[in-house]
Amino acid sequence: MSDQPSNAEAPSSVKAASKYNLSSLLGDLGSLPFLLLTGLMAHAHFNGPGLQSASVLGLYAPYVFIAYSAVILSFLSGALWERSRLEEANRLATTAILFSNLIALCAWACLLLIYVAPIMTVFAVCLLMAGFLSLLWVERLTAADIIGTSYWSMRLRITLTVVFLHGLVAALMLAEFTI
């Protein structure tokens, strides 16, 4: 039998550290599809016939990027909703719950916008980018006192990376319109 304590016997500080590590790992892994899809689109734009040739399993890469972005943004909105629900007596928490629902609905609307007109695809990417930034801002307003600096550091790093990649995708899409 091992002398190592089981997770049930581990002090709460050890549990918190391992939970952060898992959150950090999942956050980093979750940003990889954004990076890979952006790289694929940039390669198609600069070295191929353009974004029209960028595909993943036969699917138009910008649509895959938007769909993945909408799912991740909805997931983050749900996390904000749950955290705020636990503090529902607070007026700011109630506002955060409503805001999280608005962001999730905007993410869903982005999935519909891509079918309206090609330029709306660029708008969808920009709306999703704004969603990530605004969620970070609201999360900071409502949970700054209960979430540690290591989480904020991770959250800021990943959000800024994702926002930068959204900006790059929007720029690539706009460049396709001017060619």
Q: What is the mean pLDDT of each run of 10 residues along the chain (179 residues)?
A: 47 49 87 97 93 91 97 92 73 83 95 93 97 92 75 91 98 87
CB atoms within 10 A of CB 47: 8
Q: Which residue has the tokens 């869903």?
A: 108
Question: Is 97 a domain residue?
Answer: yes
Question: Is 22 a domain residue?
Answer: no
pLDDT for 6: 46
Question: Is 91 a domain residue?
Answer: yes
Contact between 158 and 27 (Cβ < 8 Å): yes
Contact between 39 and 170 (Cβ < 8 Å): no
**Size of the chain, expressed as the number of residues it contains:** 179
Contact between 111 and 104 (Cβ < 8 Å): no
Residues β-bridged to residue 55: 60
- Total tally of structural domains belonging to the chain: 1
Question: Is 148 a domain residue?
Answer: yes
Contact between 103 and 73 (Cβ < 8 Å): yes
Question: Is 6 a domain residue?
Answer: no
Question: Is 7 a domain residue?
Answer: no
* Residue 60 phi, psi dihedral angles, 5° rounding: -60, 120
Q: Which residues lie closer than 8 Å to 60 by C-beta, 6 or more apart?
A: 52, 54
Strand pairing of 55-56 and 59-60? Answer: antiparallel
In this structure, what DSSP letter does residue 53 have? G
- Host domain of residue 117: 28-38+61-178
Task: State the maximum Cα–Cα separation within the chain, in Å, rounded to a whole number.
Answer: 68
Beta strands in 5-148 (DSSP E): 55-56, 59-60
pLDDT for 2: 44
Question: Is 9 a domain residue?
Answer: no
pLDDT for 22: 85
Amino acid at 96: A
Question: Is 84 a domain residue?
Answer: yes
